Amino acid sequence: MRERDLACHNPQSMRILVTGGAGQVGTDLIRVLRSRGADVVVYDLAPTPVDLPDGVRWIPGDICNASELYDCVKEQRPHVIYHFAPTLSASGAKLPPRASAVNHPAPHHAR
């Protein structure tokens, strides 16, 4: 995430939901958002990392489970959702149906 992209949002006092927070981009974004005062919630299949920044809530869940994702969004009421759960081509090639489910229809569950 580029610095100027974050400038369009003032994360201070905002609740931000990050899907795929255990990945490289999500991990970096979480640290930046917390440093700017955002209330960060992560929704990810991965176990909670030991180096999770203070104040970040980690909610275990599968982006492909529409009802779980909907419940998370309904309960957390984020101002912004950053969707970083998509599967990259290398791992997606091993399980194409799963990659398609994560990369395409999943973001629509949060609406």
Confidence (pLDDT) at 64: 82
Which DSSP state fits 43? E
| pLDDT tens-digit series, residues 90-103 | 555 555 565 566 66
**If the chain, 111 residues long, is cut into consecutive pieces of 10 residues, what is the mean pLDDT of each piece?**
55 86 89 94 93 95 88 94 72 58 55 53
> 1, 32 in Cβ contact below 8 A?
yes
> 33, 52 in Cβ contact below 8 A?
no
Percent of the chain with pLDDT over 70: 67
Confidence (pLDDT) at 108: 53
> Which helix (DSSP H) or strand (DSSP E) does residue 60 occupy?
strand 57-60
